[in-house]
Structures are given as C-alpha cells and as structure tokens.
C-alpha cells in the first residue's frame, strides 16, 4: 500500500510541474501556434514534454544575460 501512495505523490507532483510548464509556455513570447504545440506536447507526453520545454524553452541552454542575474 505504501508504494501506491508514493506513485500517487509522484503523479501529483508531475501534474503540478506540468501545470507550471504550460503556464510558462502561455506566458512566453512565442507565436500562438508554437504555444499550442508546446502545450499539447506537455499534455500528451507529460514527462518528455516537460524535459524538452526545460531544455529548449524560452531560455533554453543560453547563458545568463548579466552577472547580476547569476547571483
């Protein structure tokens, strides 16, 4: 029974993080079609979509823009 609670907690955590990612997508400066595509990817493939958005999203792998930002 304990493993069921762990799985449930992980699924709830994934759902919350996916909701944050979709919110981030919708607030980005991307076009409406790109926002729709990213949102669908995150909804249909939650873990993979989340990882891809984190890796290639609005900030992606770019370095910080100023030294103050990294403090």
pTM of the full predicted structure?
Answer: 0.74
DSSP readout, 47-60? HHHHHHHHHHSSST
Domain ranges of the chain: 2-56
What count of other Cβ atoms lies within 10 Å of the Cβ of residue 71?
A: 6
Return the pLDDT at 18: 94
pLDDT values of the chain reduced to their tens digit, one per residue, 71 residues: 699 999 999 999 999 999 999 999 999 888 999 999 999 999 999 999 999 998 887 765 556 666 665 55
Return the pLDDT at 1: 66
Return the pLDDT at 45: 95
């Amino acid at each position: 029974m304990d493993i069921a609670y762990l799985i449930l907690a992980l699924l709830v955590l994934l759902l919350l993080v996916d909701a944050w990612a979709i919110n981030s997508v919708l607030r980005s400066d991307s076009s409406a079609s790109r926002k729709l595509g990213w949102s669908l990817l995150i909804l249909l493939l939650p873990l993979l979509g989340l990882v891809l958005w984190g890796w290639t999203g609005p900030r992606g792998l770019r370095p910080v823009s100023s030294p103050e930002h990294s403090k």
